[in-house]
Amino acid sequence: MKIIKSKQVANLDIEQAKILVVDDEYRLLTSLEALLVAQGFDVTTALGGLNACEALKQDSFDLVLLDLNMPDIDGHQVMDFVAENNMDPAIIVVSGESSFTAVSKALRRGAYDYLRKPYDSAELINTTRNCLQKVMLEKAHHQMQARLQKSEELHRYIVNSSPDVVFMLDRQGRFTFLNRKVETLLGYSKQDLLGKSYETIIEAEDIDRANYIFTEHGKKRDGAWSSELRLKVKKNEHASRHFEITFFPIERKVKINGEESLQVVGTYGTARDITERKEAEEFINFQAYHDLLTRLPNRSLFKDRLNLAMAQAKRNDNQVAVMFLDLDRFKVINDSLGHAMGDRLLQAVAMRLDNVIRKCDTLSRFGGDEFTLLLPNINSAEDARIIAKKVINTLKEPFILGEHEVFVGVSIGISMFPTAGDTVDQLIQNADVAMYHVKSRGKDGYQFFSPSMEVADSNRIKLEREIRRALENNEFKVFYQPQINAKTNDVIGVEALVRWQHPTRGLVFPGEFLPLAEETKLLTDISEWVLNSACQEVQGWINNGHPNIRLSVNFSPLQVEHPRFVDHLLETLERNNFPATNLEVEITENAIMNDLDQMTKKLNRLSEHGVTIAIDDFGTGYSSLNYLRKLPIHTLKVDQSFVKDIEETMGDACIVNAIINMAHGLKLNIVAEGVETEVQLQYLKDLGCQELQGFYFGRAEPGEVILSRLESPHAKIA
């Protein structure tokens, strides 16, 4: 058993008290000991709960500073040990555990106070002194009571030194006595209150309850009773403090018709300031039912309120609407500008939405960029439609985030009670289904749930199951789109693209299954299969007379963000004996800007192995161009949206011109995607674009078709 005792001589009564400090971490234990000894306290330490119990059996203590989370016996068990053995030390819990359950449980077991680690030294010393003052006053009271049983001087000393407000009321509830603590805690002098009703210092909202307690319990004469009430602070008319008030009836014997009986002549009481404890409880409760970023109700509180709204709707024969809101384009902004800006955007969205809903409505953050909105007590779907339009319109206005002006839209699904469901989960799920229908038809709108949507939702589940089966049955195929040298018309590279050879539907293009694959996290598996299959096939071309052919492969942000992205890629190349110098990795600007520091390390590793790096869809992101100087970028791929209207839109032509000139200045290779016409081709050649890709040169084809073109003389394009 490890029990260490330290002492420093002191003169004050509270410093003669004996303190036991209990913790399972030796460093914290010695730190607490040193702090208390420096204040002149008599300190004993115990390492862990078992040693604490042994110390309590060997000696008596006035105060125990107790940790909760200990491996052998926790703090709650130590408190049980104290109670079972009729020991009477005061207990202050000093713990890192801050849950409402732990705090409440400790206080119910009789803890004087609860301090959270890491503690403030001044607060700990102050709390210790206050507690010991109470303990020593109680000891002094008992000792002096034995010597001077009815000493009024002793009584007044103890009362005035009490850490609580002590008071007496007459039968009408008027103050007849108050100790000095009322001035310290509430700012009133005794003269301010003597002869006045207790209602003078009770908050208006609590007066009815206080009157009921005083009147009804006073009639029963059944001993002490307690209640929590808010009392006014004199110096600030808008301020109040929480007190736990305990009342004791004052009785005396009187003769009525010659018979003696007890009659209540007044009330004696104490008021303990519990403001800090109440604030801690309220904060813990707030955390349990609110989202701390937006300060909105979370899904638990939303479900509780929806349940209540449904019950009221049944009684009043009206309707309830549930809206499921998903922000459009939020991921692009979050990935481009960073999570801090994303958080600021969510807060701004919450504030803007809060201004367009009714006071009786509940706006909740459901998670990520999803919100839910509860509209109780509405008469028809038209009421919900009006609110949905207001929400859409208010979010159309731009948001200013630092130096950035960003735009988001919102997709809203609406379910009506009772037609769209009669349970909380049904209503939320059906609103979610309706929201996905808005997404599928172009986003930025609203849609009411209808039973037919369940079929579509079932189709999504079916499609997910078929994608998983396709991976297992090797139904995916790699197609290749040629990349052309603008000067020589030679095929110098191919971009690997995935197709799905469905057993009944035939060839399925990526737009029909990749969005769902990304949503269900299957995209990574598909992409890894594409890389492995393309490496195997193109390796054959390299070994058979085409050593310089370049393979370009797209990687999703989810893949690139994985900690072992580089390791997985290099392992795939090694497994297929594929030359790293023949591989070009295509990634988007958004994937780069999500974590620029980590991305720099990853791309530098790939570059060191000879892999070239291309930025896909260049010009469509929100990111700064500063990364082009920092990263080992070799190629910029001009997004096909700029090339598409190059003949008609001067703005797009200027953008392409600017990108190509910038790339030349940075000595980067340029690939223009989406080339479909002779005019586009000639314009891009005149600008000095080195490589071209698009339907003008041919659509993506299976490997054997591309190989036959490579085998033709010089692999030229006619």
Residue 10, pLDDT > 50, answer: no
DSSP sequence for 292-345? TTT--B-HHHHHHHHHHHHHHHHHHT-EEEEEEEEEESHHHHHHHH-HHHHHHH
The superfamily (CATH) of domain 290-450 is: Reverse transcriptase/Diguanylate cyclase domain (3.30.70.270)
pLDDT in the model for residue 6: 45
> Which string of DSSP letters, residue by residue, matches 467-481?
HHHHHHHT-EEEEEE
Tell me if 375 sits within 8 A of 282, measured CB to CB: no
Confidence of residue 598 (pLDDT cuts 50, 70, 90): confident
pLDDT at 622 over 60: no
* CA–CA separation, 624 and 341 (whole Å): 14
Q: Would you kindly state where each structural domain of the chain is located, as residue ranges? A: 3-147, 164-280, 290-450, 462-712
Mean pLDDT, the chain, as a whole number?
A: 84
Of the candidates 221, 18, 32, the residue with the CA atom closest to the CA atom of residue 120: 32
pLDDT tens sequence across 500-519: 998 888 898 888 888 778 76
Beta bridge partners of 158: none
CA distance linking residue 270 with residue 268, whole number of Å? 7
Query: CATH homologous superfamily of domain 3-147?
Result: Response regulator (3.40.50.2300)
Q: What is the dihedral of CA 406, 407, 413, 417, to 10 degrees?
A: 80
How confident is the model at residue 4, as a pLDDT? 47
Mean pLDDT in residue range 136-140? 78
Instruction: Give the per-residue pLDDT at 455.
Output: 56
Using CA atoms, how far apart are residues 554 and 704, in angstroms rounded to an integer?
Answer: 21
- The CATH fold assigned to 164-280 is Beta-Lactamase (3.30.450)
Averaged pLDDT, 246-256: 76
Whether 100 and 281 have beta carbons less than 8 Å apart is answered as: yes
Structure tokens at 716: 């030229």
Residue 116 has pLDDT above 90, yes or no: no
What pLDDT sits at residue 324?
Answer: 95
Q: Express as a percent the part of the chain with pLDDT over 90.
A: 30
> For residue range 347-368, what is the model confidence (pLDDT) as tens digits?
999 999 998 888 899 999 988 8
CATH number for the segment(s) 462-712: 3.20.20.450
How far is 680 from 674, CA to CA, in rounded Å? 9
Contact of 501 with 476, CB cutoff 8 Å? yes
